[in-house]
Amino acid sequence: MSFEFSSLTRTQNIKTLKTEPLDVLVIGGGIVGAGLIRDLALNGGIKAGLIEQGDFASGTSGASSQLIHGGFRYLATRDIGLVKQARKEREILLHIAPNLVKPIPLAILSYKGDPYPLTGIQLAARYYNHLSKSDIAEKSKLLRDVHKIQAMVGPVATDALKGCVVLWDSKVDDARLTIATLKDAYQNGGIVTNYVQFLHFIAQPDTSNPTHRIMAKDTISGECFEIAARKIVSTAGPWTDQLWRKDPSYDGVPRLVTKNAKGIHLILPRCVGGNSSVQYGVITVTQAEKSHNEKQRAIFILPGEHDTSIIGTTETTPEGEPESVRPSTKEVAYLLSEIQRLFPSMSFDRSAIIGAYAGIRPLIATNNSKQISENESRNFVSREHLITESPSGILYVYGGKLTTHRLIAEETVDYLAESLNVPRECKTAVCPLPSAISEGLCADDIDTVIRSNHQSVVNLLPNCDKERLIQRYGNRGYQTIQEFVNQDATLAEPITTSLPFVKAEILYAYWGEMAITLEDLLWRRTRIGRTQGQGLDIAPQIAQFLGKWNNWNQARVAAEVEKYTHRIQWLNHNL
C-alpha cells in the first residue's frame, strides 16, 4: 500500500509546523509552490514546509487550459530562448510524469483574413519542432484538404478555410500534477498542509534570533499558531501582492498587474474529434475583435475527460480579489459566439454549457521593474517570472506558468541552498514522480507491474478500471485502491452508472490525496465537477458514503453538500 496522505497527515504536519522551526517555509500550494517544496525535499539538508490557505491547486493552478506547451506564440516575437526553455521543460515533464503529461496534436486552423499566413505558420511549426527532441511521430505537418481536416478534428467551418498546421504539445490535469508533486515532496520529508492561511508576519530575523516568525490559521479548526523559519518564500500566485502588502519592507508599489490577467474556460459536450482515433486539439484566431479594430486572439478547443471539450481562454481585467473571480456574462457570450462560428453545424447556446471556471494569471508589472531592482536585494528575472528578495528577507516568486514550474523552483532553491550554506543537487529533472508509469500499457503490462510490486494483490477490478486507475493515480495509487477493494468488495462498485469512478478511488482521495471537503473531491481530485451535471445529482450519496468512512455526522454531510452546491451555483451564476 502507498503512503498515507490524509487529514490525519495534515493534523500531524500542523503539529510539526507549530513545534519545530524550519529552514524554509513556502506559502502557496499551487504548482509553483509544489515544485519548490519538492525540490527542497529532494535536495536534502533543508527542512521545509508548505502551507496553502485553501485546497491545493484551488487557485490559478487548477483553472488553466491544462496545456504543457513551449510557447509557440513567442516565436512571433522572436523570444527563442524562452521557447527553448519551455520546450525543454515539456520534455522533462514527459519523462518524470508520463502518466499525467501526455502528448497532444494541436491543429492550428488558418482562414482567409487571419493575421498570420498559413505558410508562415508552417515554417514556425517546423522550427518549433526543431527546438526540442521530439519523437519522429511528433513532426509538424500541413494539411490543405478541408475534408481531411474535418475528418481529423470534427465539423469545423470550411468557408474560407485555407488549411491547418498540426504541431505537438502536451496536456495535463493541472490539479492532479500539483497533488502528485506535493505527495512526492511529503514522501521525501516535506511538511505539507492545505487549509492553513498566512495571517501576518510577527518578527524579522536579527542577530540574536535569525528566524522569521509568522502567524497562521488552521481554517478547519479555527486555531491560530506561529510558524518559525529561517527563510520564507511566497508562491501565492495572484495573491502575492496581498502578502507583499504585509511585508515589513512594503514600499507601496504592487508587483502584479490585473489588466488582461483574467481567463475563463467553458466546458461543453465534445465538439473536437472527427474520424481519427487520435484526440486533437484545435487552435483558431478569434473574429469578434475585427469590428472594433482590436487585436485578434487565439483560442483553444481541447478534448476534456468524459466526452467533454474545454474552450478558452479570455484576457480581461478581474474585479475584486482573486478568490472572487468567476466567468462573466460577456465573457461567456464571447466564447460561445466564437465556438458557434467555428462549428456552424452544431448548436451552442447557454443550455449546452456543462460548466465554467475562471482564474487569474500572476502577470508581472514590468513598468515597475526598475523600482523593484532598486528596492530588492536580489533578483532573478525572465519574461515569464521574477524571483526577488525584499529588504526584510522575504523571497517572492512572481509570474511563472504550469510548463516552467520545475525550472522556477530550481532557480529558487539554487539561491536558498546558497543562502543556507547547504550542498545543492537538483534532482527534479531526473527523479520521476511517485508511481510514474508509461502511457499505453496493455492489460498484460499492467498485470506485470502490479505483480512485480505487490504479490498479494487479488485483482478484483475489471481490466478497463485497472488501466484507467494506473494512468490516473499511478502504480502505487492503484495498488492502494485495489487493497481497499480486497478488504471490502463493495468498494469496486461504481459511484454512478454514468461515470467510471469506483467507490474505492473516492475513498483514496481522502486517504491518499489529502482531500478535506466534498468540493476537493468533486472539483479537483476526480474532476466530476467538470462532467455533465457537475456531480450535483450524486453529491448527497457521495457525501453519505464519505461520512460513513470518515466519521462525518449528518450535520457535516449536509453541510458539505450545501457548500458544494452553492459553489457550483456561484460559478455558474452568469451562464
Provide the residue type at 575 as one letter.
L
In a domain, 78, yes or no: no
| Cβ neighbours of residue 296 closer than 8 Å, sequence gap 6 or more | 114, 115, 285, 286, 287, 289, 290
pLDDT tens by residue, 346-400: 999 999 999 999 999 998 886 554 445 445 545 544 457 889 999 999 999 998 8
How much is the average pLDDT of 323-337?
96
Asked if residue 416 and residue 268 are part of one domain, the reply reads no
**Virtual torsion, Cα 30, 35, 37, 41, nearest 10 deg:** 150
Q: Write the DSSP assignment of 451-520 as a string of letters.
A: HHH-TT----S-HHHHHHHHHHHHHHHHHHHHHHHHH-GGGGSBS-TTS--BHHHHHHHHHHS---SHHI
Is 156 strand, coil or helix? coil
CATH number, domain containing residue 20: 3.50.50.60
d(CA 7, CA 101): 27
| Most confident by average pLDDT, 16-25, 296-305, 359-368, 372-381 | 16-25
pLDDT tens by residue, 170-203: 999 999 999 999 999 999 999 999 999 999 999 7
Q: Which of 360, 394, 429 is the last residue of a domain?
A: 360
Q: What is the C-alpha radius of gyration for the chain, rounded to an integer number of angstroms? A: 24
Asked if residue 120 and residue 241 are part of one domain, the reply reads no
Please give the sequence-ordered ranges of beta strands (E in DSSP) within 221-321, or none if there are none: 224-234, 256-257, 262-269, 281-285, 298-303, 308-312
| Cβ neighbours of residue 571 closer than 8 Å, sequence gap 6 or more | 326, 327, 355, 356, 357, 358
Structural domain that includes position 55: 7-61+175-256+365-420
Asked if residue 351 and residue 380 are part of one domain, the reply reads no
How much is the average pLDDT of 512-519?
97
How high does pLDDT run on average in the chain? 90
d(CA 436, CA 474): 6
Would the pLDDT of 209 be above 80? no
How much is the average pLDDT of 11-37?
98
Asked if residue 303 and residue 208 are part of one domain, the reply reads no
Asked if residue 216 and residue 238 are part of one domain, the reply reads yes
Asked if residue 179 and residue 166 are part of one domain, the reply reads no
In a domain, 91, yes or no: no
- What whole-number percentage of the chain has pLDDT above 90? 74
pLDDT tens by residue, 524-539: 999 999 999 999 999 9
Query: Whole-prediction pTM value?
Result: 0.94
What local confidence, expressed as pLDDT, does residue 466 receive? Answer: 85
In a domain, 377, yes or no: yes
In a domain, 92, yes or no: no
Asked if residue 231 and residue 281 are part of one domain, the reply reads no
| Phi/psi-derived region of residue 118, left when phi > 0, alpha when psi is between -120 and 50, beta in every other case | alpha
In a domain, 57, yes or no: yes
How many other CB atoms sit within 10 Å of the CB of residue 414?
16
Are 83 and 145 a contacting pair, CB within 8 Å? no
In a domain, 94, yes or no: no
- If DSSP states are collapsed to H, E and C, what string results for 65-100? CCEECCCHHHHHHCCHHHHHHHHHHHHHHHHHCCCC
CATH number, domain containing residue 335: 3.30.9.10
What local confidence, expressed as pLDDT, does residue 446 receive? Answer: 45
Would the pLDDT of 445 be above 50? no
What local confidence, expressed as pLDDT, does residue 206 receive? Answer: 75
Asked if residue 136 and residue 30 are part of one domain, the reply reads no
Give the lowest-confidence range in 144-148, 446-450, 541-545: 446-450
Q: For residue 195, which of 63, 321, 361, 56 has the smallest C-alpha distance?
A: 56
Would the pLDDT of 518 be above 90? yes
How much is the average pLDDT of 52-77?
92
d(CA 232, CA 37): 12
What local confidence, expressed as pLDDT, does residue 149 receive? Answer: 96
What local confidence, expressed as pLDDT, does residue 70 receive? Answer: 86
Asked if residue 243 and residue 158 are part of one domain, the reply reads no
Give the pLDDT band (50/70/90) at residue 444. very low
How much is the average pLDDT of 205-227?
91
Question: Any bridge partners for residue 75, and if so which?
Answer: none
Would the pLDDT of 75 be above 90? no
Asked if residue 514 and residue 491 are part of one domain, the reply reads yes
Asked if residue 567 and residue 480 are part of one domain, the reply reads yes
Q: Count up the domains in the chain and report the number.
A: 3
Would the pLDDT of 146 be above 70? yes
Asked if residue 531 and residue 405 are part of one domain, the reply reads no
Would the pLDDT of 442 be above 70? no
- What whole-number percentage of the chain has pLDDT above 70? 91
How much is the average pLDDT of 60-75?
91
Burial of 486 (0-12, 13-18, 19+ CB in 10 A): middle
Sign of CA dihedral 516, 517, 520, 525: positive
